Structure 1
Amino acid sequence: MTRPHQADSETQLAAILKSLDDDKAEDVVQIDLRGKTAIGDYMVIASGRSSRQVSAISEKLVDRLKREHGVPARTEGRETGDWVLIDTGDVIVHVFRPEVREFYQLEKMWLPAGQATAKS
């Protein structure tokens, strides 16, 4: 689904990675989905240290994407802060508390064997 005057997926990805870095998200992993699925071009997985940080990282990311790039995003899970899903249509972002991320292990589902990163 294309939206007029919206940043392309590479621009969105760069803005997302910068926002996550600015807000001190941890263990950020980006996965190129192009040619693998129609759900989006990229997936980004990151962690926050607490439910409060997960919610704050997610809220700031959505605000920055809309304000700076005209990119609307749908979100799920911001109320609890365990796992927030942010979907721009081109980039899907998952922000987890570390324990929840470890439980679901999304990286293992999307990255080839050997490319999944070990978390300390």
Structure 2
Amino acid sequence: MTTTSKSESAAKKDVTKLQRAIVDGLEDVKAQDIQVFNTEHLSPLFERVIVATGGSNRQTKALASSVRDAVREAGFPKPRTEGEDNGEWIIVDCGQAVVHVMQPAIRQYYRLEEIWGEKPVRLKLGAAKPRKITASEDASAAPAKKAAAKKAPAKAAPAKAAAKKAPAAKKAAPAAKKPVAKKPAARKAAVKTVVVNKPVAKKAAAKAPAKRAAAKAPARKAPARKG
């Protein structure tokens, strides 16, 4: 790879990093309808035009200030601004990118998208950005982490208690099956009663014919005595 190609790739990376910083600065103050356009083929002075809308003078000024801070934090030179006194249309010149922060009526009237919008650049808007944690927040969060670590073993106690109660429940299960074992005994008792009652019925049947025979037999007359 030649030196010229290396410099071109580095320049593209810088432009990508710069436009990302600008969009992040606009999103921090809730800019509306953010659009990014590639203008390399239209102007040799800058490579990106970014247009955003602010609802009031106060918001447009806050958006311009947020863009300046985001660009400086990304390592680029401090941008120049124009139009902050009025607040209806503020231009933030970031070198390779120019940002137009406009109120709705001004944006609708001038329609910069028709001038610079031939090649729109797609960016992920609304992406979650990592928040920097200050030293004071980190120090305040340390005791909370230690307290959470101490409380963690206490949660294991109910689990152990439940494990100890589990065998007791298993032992109680066979006790519920004992009444089922009584059913065969009841059947044997019924069989015994039937077997015992059968001979009794036979004896009663045998006695009944004997009584009938005795009733049918003629009474014998006593022999007469000789005089």
In the alignment, structure 1 segments of 5+ residues that lack a partner are 1-6, 116-120
CA contact (8 A) 2:18 2:74 kept: no
Structure number with greater Rg is 2
Quote how far apart the aligned CAs of 1:85 are: 0.3
Match of 2:77 among 36, 55, 71: 71
Identity of aligned residues (%): 30
Quote how far apart the aligned CAs of 1:71 are: 2.4
- Look up the match of 2:105: 99
Match of 1:33 among 39, 44, 52: 39
Letter paired with 1:88: C
TM-score between the two structures when normalised by the length of structure 1: 0.82
* Alpha-carbon distance between aligned partners in 2 of 1:32 and 1:76, rounded to the nearest angstrom: 22
Larger relative contact order (Cα-Cα within 8 Å, sequence gap ≥ 6): 1
CA RMSD in angstroms, aligned pairs only: 1.6
Quote how far apart the aligned CAs of 1:68 are: 3.6
Q: How many residues align?
A: 107
Q: Which runs of 4+ in 1 moved over 4 A?
A: none
* Alpha-carbon distance between aligned partners in 1 of 2:98 and 2:76, rounded to the nearest angstrom: 16
CA contact (8 A) 2:24 2:70 kept: no
Quote how far apart the aligned CAs of 1:72 are: 1.7
In the alignment, structure 2 segments of 5+ residues that lack a partner are 1-12, 121-227
- Look up the match of 2:208: none
Quote how far apart the aligned CAs of 1:88 are: 1.3
Residues 2-40 of structure 1 deviation map (CA, whole Å, 9 limit, x = unaligned): xxxxx8221110000111112100011100012221120
Match of 1:18 among 17, 21, 24: 24
Matches within 5 A, 1:81-92: 81-92=87-98
Match of 2:86 among 76, 80, 88: 80
